[in-house]
Amino acid sequence: MLTYIIPFIILILIVVFIHEYGHYYFAKKFGVGVTDFSIGFGKEIFGWNDKSGTRWKICWIPLGGYVKFFGDRNVYSQSDHEEILKKYSEEDQQKLFTLKPLYQRTLIVFGGPLANFLLALVIFFSIYTFVGKDFTPAVINEVQKDSPAMTGGLQVNDVILEIDGNTVQSIMDVSKYITMSTDDFIDFKVKRSYDEFLLKIKPIIALSEDNLGNSVNKRMVGIKLGAYNNEINHVKLGPAQSLLHAANEVYYVSVASLKYIGGMIVGKADTSQLGGPIRIAKISGQVADIGLLAFISMMAYISISLGLVNLFPIPMLDGGHLMFYAFEKVLGRPLSQKTQEGFFRIGLFLLISLMFFTTFNDLKDLGLFK
């Protein structure tokens, strides 16, 4: 269990700290008072106060964190300004989040997800600069008999150029693009001798193993790949190229994840792949056994996921507060406190439902449910 728990805690501590620091940075920039910066929930394990009065602490339940603002009731979008003005002195009012201009509140809330995307960008940039990026063309070495690939017209020695419009830059891209696809057919653009062909392949869903040995339902087309001319092309990139490829990776993962979630909602994507803390802990331990590079790469993908999820327009998440600010911009005033509280109840129900669903998937993944 320790081999799972320790890497999981390290991963969560870093990713959550970066997220909360994004909120903290913009709050301090705009003069908002910060009373608490917590990693984890529940009872405090240890902590300290800085010179500005912020309590930095780590708590027992490492499943998130929060930044608490001066005078805040843990609701970003309060509308009872008259009551607030009566309660605080003019000096203290300068430190109140709810009295800041709309654009400042928006940046403070958006700062958390933004920090997660920047963390992923820095990780990918560092890997491509100091370790390198694979650019080995993907060649089909085998087409399985009666497979979707054979039915769709893929042949041995085809070089895969694109999948669903995404350029295939290396062998590793092929599995990623197939897995993240949600349409009934996958578009393959291949080079055969001197000609290029666009083929539509209808994948099958089969119980298989991922690279870590976990049982998963995978979209499969029935091909085995190899390196073009048996040559591996792994290149360390310059700063400009690394930044470009890092930004492309963050963008692709974000868009593909949103598309996959949309596929889940309409029933086109496998909901069993949606996991929670237990599955993340399990995979964290498995990836940590592979090596530091794999673990850091996983951290980048988890950071993107955390940033994306927090932007969903669900009250209690950052995206929910941003939704309230959009209403405030359109209406010229905040929504009433009663209306906001109604939205928060809906958001709480959705989050609890999602928590139960992901926990069920996690326990099923561990073999506790059939």
Q: Please choose, from the candidates 173, 294, 296, 305, the residue with its C-alpha nearest in 3D space to the C-alpha of residue 245.
A: 173
Q: Please choose, from the candidates 69, 53, 80, 73, the residue with its C-alpha nearest in 3D space to the C-alpha of residue 105.
A: 69
Q: Please choose, from the candidates 117, 74, 93, the residue with its C-alpha nearest in 3D space to the C-alpha of residue 321.
A: 74
Q: By the 8 A CB rule, do 80 and 341 touch?
A: no
Chain centroid offset of residue 20 CA: 15
Cα separations in angstroms, 172 against 32, 120, 204: 45, 19, 20
| 209 among known catalytic residues | no
Cα separations in angstroms, 117 against 19, 63, 110, 186, 281: 9, 19, 11, 28, 21
Backbone φ and ψ for 136, nearest 5 degrees, come out as: -75, 115
Residue 351's CB: how many other CB atoms inside 10 A? 16
Active site residues: 20
